Structure 1
Amino acid sequence: MSAQAFGIMIPIVAIIFGCTIPMVAIWAKHKEKVARLQVETTAEHTAEKAAQYASQVQRLEDRVQVLERIVTDKGYDVATQIEALRDTRAHDQSDHGVPLEIARKENA
């Protein structure tokens, strides 16, 4: 290559690098912003899931406490209590479940 060709190439290379460097900086800034948004979204989703799990655990703990109370109460008639719960449910909700007495009569 001649000296004149190198003389032409230097400005061309300078222009290419002059345009490429800002484009790479913009691209890098964009990628950083996307990564930050993904982290924030993941953190929000994780916090929401943790709250849902905490709520579900609390409901389960409440149910276990009721079951423990039923099992540990001496002289407690579990079948009578279940029937009472079904009777109150039948009054609160329309036609959800069949009381044990009716089911026993039908099976007999």
Structure 2
Amino acid sequence: MHGPWFVLSIIAMSMAAWVINNWIRAWHGYSISDDWGRNIDKGDAGANRNIALLSSDNERLTGQVSRLEERIAVLERIATDPATRTAREIDALRDR
């Protein structure tokens, strides 16, 4: 390659690398950068909204894990207790 084609190919490769870099960063949730590597912030409102959504989702999942742990504990107790004791507890619940 001679002359301007060499320069144009370098420019094209640089632009393609920048696009791919920003696509990967956006895909993984990082902020997108401009031509000089500075981050382009979406603003505090977007970040605060994401934090609020993640916090509420975290609380929901924590509650769900707690309920599942309780259910697993009951199932483990049922599986390991003698059958007569389990039958007595079931009969006691029916008599209520």
- TM-score tier by shorter-chain length is 0.3 to 0.5
**Which structure is higher in helix share?**
1
User: What TM-score, normalized to structure 2?
Assistant: 0.46
Structure with greater Cα Rg: 1
Higher strand share: 2
- Superposition TM-score, scaled by structure 1 size: 0.42
